Amino acid sequence: MKKRYLFPADYMADPSVHIFNGRVYIYPSHDWEDENTVENDNGDHFNMKDYHVLSTDDIMNGEVIDHGKVLDRDDIPWAGRQLWDCDVAEKDGKYYMYFPMKDKNDIFRHGVAIADRPEGPFIPQPDPIRGSYSIDMAIFKDEGEYYMYFGGIWGGQLQRYKDNKALESAYLPTGKEPALPSRVVRLSEDMLQYAEEPRPVHVVDKKGKPLTADNPHRFFEAPWVHKYNGKYYFSYSTGDTHMICYATSDNRFGPFTYQGVILTPVVGWTTHHSIVEFKGKWYLFHHDCVPSGGKTWLRSLKVCELEYDAEGRIKTIEGMD
């Protein structure tokens, strides 16, 4: 299977990809080298501080253009640290970038920045979304409404919340307890707030039981949703078991029934992706750490074709190839 490193000139990761005006736009996080980097489970070695936008008109062979820096941490009034993954949606000719960042109290919130063009620049709103928490947002348009899927544990802080309220002490399920679920929330008409309370996105087995905390295929972070042949596909990273997995449903809110592995482990700790159709073919965008010699905080964007079988199952891709 043909694969391609998209932008070897710089270290970028966590690609959210969309087709705007017939062109492919890639919205990645931006990794930085830091001589004082110390790895830990809170992800302090991922100290990203700005966003670039990339685009191309030919995914596997065309030039990938860097449109430059489109948003900087220092431009955001409530900024603390760590501009992690982001995603962008278009509505009525405006482009809305949603991003997680720790505020001045070191708590992840969701910010919004607005542009007149898909390549930016993006102007941030003065405050984060009310009631927002955790990381890894993906925006999905369905039947005229916009939905945000989000959530990540460990450094993503999802274990600090229950029923959308902060806990006095974080709680991470173990063993046969149900795994922590991602979240989904409908966005307001103006795209700047939640229109409702976030609800859990449950991944269940064939018997309808939630995947447990000790299941290697349970949700950890990096949700993404797309539709294929009328079904909703919820894909995600399993985190410390280093896979991209997926589940399907007839409902955008789930529950989603676990189906299988999309991408086996890659070189590097994290794996974070998006799935998009372009000119009749489907593609998986992700990252690995091969070009940096395995430095987990210096990742490079990668893409390969994604295929379905006759029953709509996604064929597994070998990450180390």
Rounded to 5°, the CA angle 268-278-27 comes to: 45
Q: Which of 85, 90, 119, 221 is catalytic?
A: 221
Query: In which residue are the tokens 């900024």 written?
Result: 79
Per the structure block, which two tokens stand in for 4? 């391609």
Q: Using DSSP bridges, classify how beta strands 256-263 and 203-204 pair: parallel, antiparallel or unpaired.
A: parallel
CA pseudo-torsion sign 126, 132, 135, 137: negative
Of 220, 309, 291, whose CA–CA distance to 4 is shortest? 291
Burial-class residue 77 by CB neighbours within 10 Å (0-12, 13-18, 19+): exposed
Backbone Cα Rg of the chain: 18
Catalytic residue among 10, 14, 74, 142: 14
Whether 33 is a known active-site residue: answer no
Task: Indicate if 221 belongs to the active site.
Answer: yes
Question: Could you identify the residue written with the tokens 């990742």?
Answer: 299
* Cα–Cα distance, 28 to 6 (Å, whole number): 11
Nearest to 56 by CA among 31, 19, 29, 85: 19
Tell me how far apart the alpha carbons of residues 21 and 57 are, in angstroms, rounded to a whole number: 10
Please list the active-site residues: 14, 221
